Amino acid sequence: KVKPQLEEKEGKTFDVFTAVEFKTQVVAGTNYFIKVHVGNDEFLHLRVFRSLPHENKPLSLHSYQSSKTKDDELAYF
């Protein structure tokens, strides 16, 4: 659901977009830190926010880190 948000920010489309790892952090909602394979040896780390259920808001791409590798540790950012 956040792929179009990322493509808009990056100004390009991703033919490959596969989540390979994730971590969560509970705040006033939930932060998801997701390692995504985007083709070749390229990976991105995404921070996606899910609001509390009663707020009824869509998932939002909070921030991301590019130029990551498969072996880079997925850390909170």
- Residue 7 placed within a domain: yes
**Which domain covers residue 46, as residue numbers?**
2-68
pLDDT in tens, 1-51: 899 999 999 999 999 999 999 999 999 999 999 999 999 999 999 999 999
CA distance 60 to 31: 10
CATH number, domain at 46? 3.10.450
Please give the structure tokens belonging to residue 55: 């707020």
Residue type, 38: V
For residue 15, being part of any structural domain is answered with: yes
Domain count of the fold of the chain = 1
| 0.85 exceeded by pTM | yes
Residue 54 lies in a domain: yes
